[in-house]
Amino acid sequence: MHLDRLIQVLEAVAIAGKPVSPAEVQRVTRIPRPTCYRLLQTLASYRLLDQLGDVARYQVGDRLKRIALLGQSDADVCLATASTLQEAAIEFGEAVFLSRFRSKTVEIINVKTPVDAARSFIHPGLGNRPLHACSCSKAIAAFADPKFQEEILSKPLRAYTEQTKTHAIDIEREFSRIRDLGYAECVEEIEVGVASVAAPIRIGDLGVPFSVGATGPIRRFTSSYRKKIGAGLMEISQQIAANLQLAHLSSSDLANSRQGWQGYDISALTGIEK
């Protein structure tokens, strides 16, 4: 019963689409006023709802948004970002890839390649990447919670090549440099002759759950070229972030959710007649 009421309150706030008062939530859910107030406070304490300053109005919290966003399937994420990745691959003339953080690992989930048959490129492959050595992983790890960074650095770190950094102090310095530059580099740290650059994809205030990168031969990925690619990827990361948020809040999803509010007087919160 308690969980049912918590869900009722969450749903009532979510469907409103704007900050709402406890009185408005109570009127919609018909939960007794003292209980409704306690439920709102409980949800706010876990950051599933956010209270706006000292004003007694609530909106969907960042933690709940993050849970919902991270719940998107790889198929949905790839669909929402495919056109942007392909355009970038054509523009750069290099393989461009999207990576995702989950379960304390970073995984490449999608790759798009250039269409020019006369230009060689390097496909990065799919799957998990080391958190200390690959640009796509470092672009995410550099912005992660300090406790998670400590966890990364406290473990033995594998040296894939002579260029792989395996000492905690060196990686801490690189994380700091990544935060300053806005993108990460991997120069022969995993495979000799191969370099990559990746930019973090920040989703509002929810952190950096994704990154976008490009990879190619070291003969092309000179220092100046990596700088150019990095700047381009930072712009692309903003477009991908917007695409992911739009996909999450697609009109079809909103229409489907509205059909489920048969037990609620949604006009009391939204001004929309049922």
**Structural domains of the chain ordered from first start:** 2-64+252-270 (1.10.10.10), 69-248 (3.30.450.40)
d(CA 29, CA 207): 32
Q: Which pLDDT score is estimated for 248?
A: 53
* Residue of 8 and 268 predicted with greater confidence: 8
| Residue 69 reports pLDDT greater than 80 | no
Phi-psi region of 17 (alpha: psi -120 to 50; beta: other; left: phi over 0): left
pLDDT tens per residue across span 82-119: 999 999 999 999 999 999 998 789 999 999 999 887 88
Cα–Cα nearest to 209, from 48, 58, 81, 43: 81
* Residue of 267 and 160 predicted with greater confidence: 160
pLDDT tens per residue across span 41-57: 889 888 888 888 766 88
* Residue of 192 and 241 predicted with greater confidence: 192
pLDDT tens per residue across span 202-237: 887 668 889 999 999 999 999 999 999 999 999 999
Residue whose entry in the numeric block shows the structure tokens 């909103």: 254
Which alpha helices (H) appear in 46-109, and where do they start and end? 62-70, 74-92
Q: Give the relative orientation of helices 2-16 and 251-259 as an angle to the nearest 10 degrees.
A: 130
State pTM to two decimals: 0.72
Q: Which pLDDT score is estimated for 2?
A: 79
Q: Which pLDDT score is estimated for 163?
A: 95
